[in-house]
Amino acid sequence: MTKTLIVTGGAGFIGANFLHLLRRERPDWKLVNLDALTYAGNLENLTELEGHPGYRFVHGDITRPEDIESAFTAARELGGGVSLVHFAAESHVDRSIRSGLPFVQTNVVGTQLLLDAARAHGVERFVHVSTDEVYGSLGESGYFTEETPLAPNSPYSASKAASDMLVRAAVHTHGFPALTTRCSNNYGPYQFPEKLIPLMISKAQDGEPLPVYGDGKNVRDWLYVVDHCEAILAVLERGRVGEVYNIGGHNEYENLAIVRRVLSELGKSEDLIRFVKDRPGHDRRYAIDASKIGRELGWKPRHRFEEALPLTIEWYRTHASWLQRVRNGAYREYLTRQYGG
């Protein structure tokens, strides 16, 4: 099995958790992290990896072919056959509603450029990390399977669906060794506090109002980020080329229930909840049927929500300076100091 891995978007939430998992579970692997350090990229997520001889950070953008080449050069220097796990994306639905273009640039154009380069360099395997949001919205019942037709509703999910189709086309046309994962909503350490759970933790800690969109009854299927990372590793090592694998935890909650739980864990009053104008085109319910990855690769989530949510809240409490530096922008000063960017 390959020992050198290029990870795109490794300074973001899931990518950073994935790199930490690999350091623990596959300590002999060589790792190259290609990340543009957008607002969502934070090198403070990766301080433990800095200076490690088997780790290289390449500050680069997947929409620039020369930056992708730099990542392959770094991988070649580290030696061994190369595989790639592709996390880099614009990932926030609300931002995509305000402006869709960056989503097309990174998620669609960037993915195609990465596929072209990966094919030219003969990568052994390419895992494309996608989302359940490509399937659109469910009613009260039912689950997304890998056969559910794609019906994305936001510019974010539309751009991810487009990238999934480009990966599919590369497999079909060129026999390219790609695999695609589609996961439900994640939570855990290092998540940027614009997403529901870290935003609510951050606001509740500061006694600020908690904005709940619409009636608060939209449902998401929450998965602890480490479980997602373990599933990606299983797909990378043992998945069947050309296949799509859904990943989820059968852990559905209405948004309001999540917000109430965060408040209760932090000992704060529900008076902080504010119902605000709904998100345009807000998907009602996501729920994943993850039986295929269970059956084929033996993966199942190891963390229960009842334990992992308090763990996550505790992480944000004990990493108050990480959160503060993200909220006040100081994490960007670090980038300027290190890379002049």
268 binds, among ligand TYD, ligand NAD, none (CB under 5 to 8 A by kind): none
Counting contacts by CB under 6 A, is residue 154 touching ligand NAD? no
CA angle centred on 186, ends 341 and 318, rounded to 5°: 70
Instruction: Give the distance from CA 299 to its chain's centroid.
Output: 18
Q: What share of the chain is helix, strand, coil (3-state, %, to 5)?
A: 45, 15, 35
| Among candidate residues 168, 197, 85, 181, the one with its CA nearest the CA of residue 131 | 181
- The single residue listed with the structure tokens 């709904």 is 278
Catalytic-role residue among 67, 90, 132, 289 = 132
Q: Is 133 one of the catalytic residues?
A: yes
Nearest-angstrom CA–CA distance, 264 and 262 = 5
**List 35, 133, 230, 289, catalytic entry:** 133
Q: Does 196 bind ligand TYD (CB under 6 A)?
A: yes
Examine residue 63 and tell whether it contacts ligand NAD (CB under 6 A).
yes
Cα within 13 Å of Cα(219), Cβ side: 16
**63 versus 185: smaller Cβ distance to ligand TYD:** 185
Q: How far is the CB of 126 from ligand NAD (least distance, A)?
A: 14
Please state, in angstroms and rounded to a whole number, the distance separating the CA atoms of residues 175 and 329.
44
Which of 14, 158, 171, 212 is in the footprint of ligand NAD by CB under 6 A? 14
Helix boundaries (H) for 121-239: 155-174, 196-205, 225-238
CB atoms within 10 A of CB 67: 19
**Locate tokens 């990493």: which residue?**
319
Shortest distance, position 210 Cβ to ligand TYD, whole Å: 8
Determine the interface stretch with ligand TYD among 135-143, 211-219, 231-239, 326-334 (rule: CB under 6 A): 211-219
**In the complex, what is the shortest distance from the CB of residue 285 to ligand TYD, in angstroms, rounded to a whole number?**
9
Q: How far is the CB of 284 from ligand TYD (least distance, A)?
A: 9
**Site membership for ligand TYD, residue 251 (CB under 6 A):** no
Please state the length of the chain: 341
* One of 82, 129, 178, 273 touching ligand NAD (CB under 6 A): 129
Site membership for ligand NAD, residue 83 (CB under 6 A): no
Place of tokens 């090592």: 237
Q: What is the C-alpha to C-alpha distance for residues 9 and 341, in angstroms, rounded to an integer?
A: 17
Interface residue with ligand NAD, options 83, 91, 153, 202 (CB under 6 A): 91
Number of residues that bind ligand NAD (CB under 6 A): 30
**Is the distance from CB of 317 to CB of 205 less than 8 angstroms?**
yes
User: Least distance (Å) from ligand TYD to the CB of residue 265?
Assistant: 17
> With binding defined as CB under 6 A, does residue 309 bind ligand NAD?
no
CA distance 239 to 179: 7
- Say how many C-beta atoms besides its own lie within 10 A of residue 128's C-beta: 26
Token pair of 184 as six digits: 């439900």
Pick one of 9, 136, 152, 155: the residue that binds ligand NAD (CB under 6 A): 9
Regarding 131 and contact with ligand NAD (CB under 6 A), the answer is yes
Active-site residue set: 132-133, 156
Binding site for ligand NAD (CB under 6 A): 8-9, 11-15, 35-38, 40-41, 61-63, 87-91, 106, 110, 129, 131, 160, 183, 185-186, 192
| Contacting positions for ligand TYD (CB under 6 A) | 93, 185, 195-196, 199, 211-213, 218, 220, 255, 279
